């Protein structure tokens, strides 16, 4: 099994930016073919949520490129997106003022845009949807142990422990003894009876 790890950038290699946008967010991955160098994910602002998918994708691309400016400025890099028309972003006629605004922020970067089918752009797609309201199952797992439950039972049935409990209840216990969470403690340490199976 392989886990995703961030890798150090190799400035002699070409950077690749995979990006995607959904109704919930923008997602992008900066890599160099072998493994990810950095991830980028942002929620869509409320005033951008109703924009066409093309403009949301453009905004996501600009935000990711500006975020990774130290890596990308002055170097040729490739942008891969699941929007076919994005291949011609710098060559086509821009129809709206927001398109002009966002495309001008890409001027000065040496980028090449390539189409990448959506099913091949899964990581960026997942990052773009991480803040969506899609119902999901979330669980927290933690190791459990029956040790403390067993010791509580032993404290209830052990004669030495019963005597110490009675002394603590009567405020006659020797110094350092206390009852915490129904368990006997001596100077902050858990008391284990001599006859305990936990010894």
pLDDT higher at 128 or 173 = 173
pLDDT higher at 174 or 139 = 174
pLDDT of res. 132: 47
Tokens linked to 98: 């927001």
3-class secondary structure, 140: coil
Number of domains composing the chain:
2
Same domain, 35 and 121: yes
pTM of structure = 0.56
Handedness of CA 79, 32, 63, 120 (dihedral sign): positive
Same domain, 118 and 156: no
Q: Which helix (H) or strand (E) holds 78?
A: strand 76-81
Whether 181 is in a domain gets the answer yes
d(CA 7, CA 9): 6
pLDDT higher at 124 or 107 = 107
Q: Domain containing 182: what range?
A: 147-190
Using one digit for the tens of pLDDT, what is the confidence trace for 13-49?
Answer: 999 888 887 777 888 888 887 788 888 888 888 877 7
Using one digit for the tens of pLDDT, what is the confidence trace for 108-143?
Answer: 888 888 887 765 565 555 555 555 455 555 555 666
The percent of residues in the chain predicted with pLDDT above 70, rounded, is 80
Spell out the alpha helix ranges (H) of the chain: 53-67, 69-72, 97-104, 122-128, 147-157, 159-169
For residues 74 and 13, is the Cβ–Cβ distance under 8 A?
no
Whether 198 is in a domain gets the answer no
Query: Given 81, 99, 128, which residue is the final one in a domain?
Result: 128
Whether 87 is in a domain gets the answer yes
Whether 74 is in a domain gets the answer yes
């Amino acid at each position: 099994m392989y886990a995703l790890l961030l890798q150090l950038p190799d400035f002699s290699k070409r950077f690749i930016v995979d990006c995607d946008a959904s109704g919930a967010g923008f997602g992008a991955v900066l890599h160099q073919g072998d493994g990810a160098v950095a991830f980028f994910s942002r929620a869509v602002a409320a005033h951008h949520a109703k924009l066409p998918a093309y403009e949301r994708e453009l905004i996501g691309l600009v935000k990711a490129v500006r975020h990774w400016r130290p890596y990308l400025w002055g170097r040729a890099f490739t942008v891969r997106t699941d929007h076919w028309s994005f291949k011609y972003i710098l060559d086509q006629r821009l129809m709206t003022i927001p398109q002009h605004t966002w495309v001008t922020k890409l001027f000065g970067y040496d980028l090449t845009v390539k189409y990448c089918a959506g099913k091949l752009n899964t990581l960026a797609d997942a990052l773009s949807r991480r803040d969506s309201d899609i119902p999901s199952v979330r669980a927290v797992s933690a190791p459990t142990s029956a040790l403390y439950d067993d010791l509580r039972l032993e404290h209830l049935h052990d004669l030495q422990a019963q005597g110490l409990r009675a002394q603590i209840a009567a405020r006659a216990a020797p110094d350092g003894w206390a009852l915490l969470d129904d368990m006997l403690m001596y100077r902050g340490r858990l008391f284990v009876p001599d006859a305990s199976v936990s010894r």
